[in-house]
A and B are shown apart, each in its own frame.
Chain A
Amino acid sequence: MKFASPFENHVLFMLGPVPVSQAVATTWGIMAVLGIACWAATRRLALQPSRVQVALEYVVEMIATQIRETMAAEPRPYLPLIGTIFLFLLAANWSSLVPGIEPPTATLETDAALALIVLGATLWFGIHARGLKAYLESFAQPSILLVPLNIVELFTRSFSLMVRLFGNVMSGVFMIGVVLSLAGLFVPIPLMALEMLTGAVQAYIFGALAMVFIGSAISEARTHTPPSQEPFS
């Protein structure tokens, strides 16, 4: 029995000279659904909130609380990025429940793009919060000898962010495919439930790690003491 390689992309159609793969098309679909849903839900905001508005406010407040607790900073500048990453990943990981759709996070390229966004945001917020010179000096903490190690760490943790998301989502899709090819109709349903749990946890983990990375880039700005130790790398 042959299985399709998880590293190959299925090209759906050509947009001029640019091939558009299935993952990209699914990403566009999720972006459209999320964007239209948010636009429709926030069109009439009232002081006496409707049910939809209460639910939305609860979600936003929950993410803001997580940011405040994890980063120990005011959540407002980081809420759009972290919230979008979390909600997009949740929608993307759960999109496999729709028949015929593979989650875009099960391809390496989507995860690489998301990890690059987090890397860029880490650099941007770090420079923004501390100034370029102070941020570059933070690489020499606690000793000048650690500069290469800190720079390498910046990229390896982005790489591990990418591979973690890819491996988790792709392995779930792959496993369901294998079980489906072995045994019929209802057997993969528990696996799909497990996959929903994994998808939610991975979306949370990705968002939490983005918070931790950005938080570690900005946190030393306030204390001005040498960082004791970074809990996660």
Chain B
Amino acid sequence: MNWIHLASIIGATLAIAIGAIAPAIGQGRAVAAAMDAIARQPDAAGTISRTLFVGLAMIETMAIYCLVIALLLLFANPFA
């Protein structure tokens, strides 16, 4: 195990660990806002939850990018 492997593993864990924080905060805020909106206007629950799902997928993409980067480092590393 040379230092490139070591750096790849550390980089992959850091990427997924740090990259999960911000989307988690963002998704939490989005769900809280949607709950608030549904509580105020229960009639609009269908529209709100549809928009919420699409928005959550958008936010989640950031975490997925980090996951793909981590897997690229581990499995398809161009330098190792």
A167 adjacent to B64 (CB under 8 Å): yes
Out of B55, B60, B61, B75, which one reaches A7, CB within 8 Å? B75
- Is A171 close to B, CB under 8 A? yes
Instruction: Report whether over half of chain B's contact residues are helix, strand or loop; otherwise say mixed.
Output: helix
Residues of chain B within 8 A (CB-CB) of A204 are 53
Query: Which residues of B are interface residues toward A (Cβ below 8 A)?
Result: 47, 50-51, 53-55, 57-58, 60-61, 64-65, 67-68, 71-72, 75-76
Out of B47, B54, B65, B67, which one reaches A205, CB within 8 Å? B54
Known pairs A5-B76, A163-B65, A167-B67. 4 more at Cβ < 8 A?
A3-B75, A167-B68, A205-B57, A212-B54
Interface CB pairs A-B, < 8 A, 25: A6-B75, A7-B72, A7-B76, A66-B50, A69-B47, A69-B50, A160-B61, A163-B61, A163-B68, A164-B60, A166-B68, A167-B61, A167-B64, A167-B65, A167-B68, A168-B64, A171-B67, A174-B71, A201-B57, A202-B57, A205-B53, A205-B57, A208-B50, A208-B54, A232-B58
A209-B67 contact, Cβ under 8 Å, with A5-B75, A6-B75, A163-B61 = no
- Is A42 close to B, CB under 8 A? no
Residues of chain B within 8 A (CB-CB) of A167 are 61, 64-65, 67-68
Out of A3, A66, A70, A209, which one reaches B57, CB within 8 Å? A209
**Nearest B residue to A171, CB-CB:** B67
A164-B53 contact, Cβ under 8 Å, with A5-B76, A6-B71, A6-B75 = no
Instruction: Report whether over half of chain A's contact residues are helix, strand or loop; otherwise say mixed.
Output: helix
B64 adjacent to A208 (CB under 8 Å): no
Residues of chain B within 8 A (CB-CB) of A168 are 60, 64
Residues of chain A within 8 A (CB-CB) of B64 are 163-164, 167-168, 171
Tally of A interface residues using CB under 8 Å? 24
Residues of chain A within 8 A (CB-CB) of B55 are 232
Say how far A214's CB is from chain B's closest CB, in angstroms.
14
Say how far B57's CB is from chain A's closest CB, in angstroms.
4
A70 adjacent to B50 (CB under 8 Å): yes
Say how far B50's CB is from chain A's closest CB, in angstroms.
7
Residues of chain B within 8 A (CB-CB) of A166 are 68
A164 to B58: give the CA distance in the assembly, Å.
Answer: 9
Residues of chain A within 8 A (CB-CB) of B61 are 160, 163-164, 167
A209 to B51: give the CA distance in the assembly, Å.
Answer: 11
A69 to B54: give the CA distance in the assembly, Å.
Answer: 14
Say how far A210's CB is from chain B's closest CB, in angstroms.
11
A209 to B50: give the CA distance in the assembly, Å.
Answer: 11
A104 to B59: give the CA distance in the assembly, Å.
Answer: 24
**Nearest B residue to A4, CB-CB:** B75
B54 adjacent to A232 (CB under 8 Å): yes
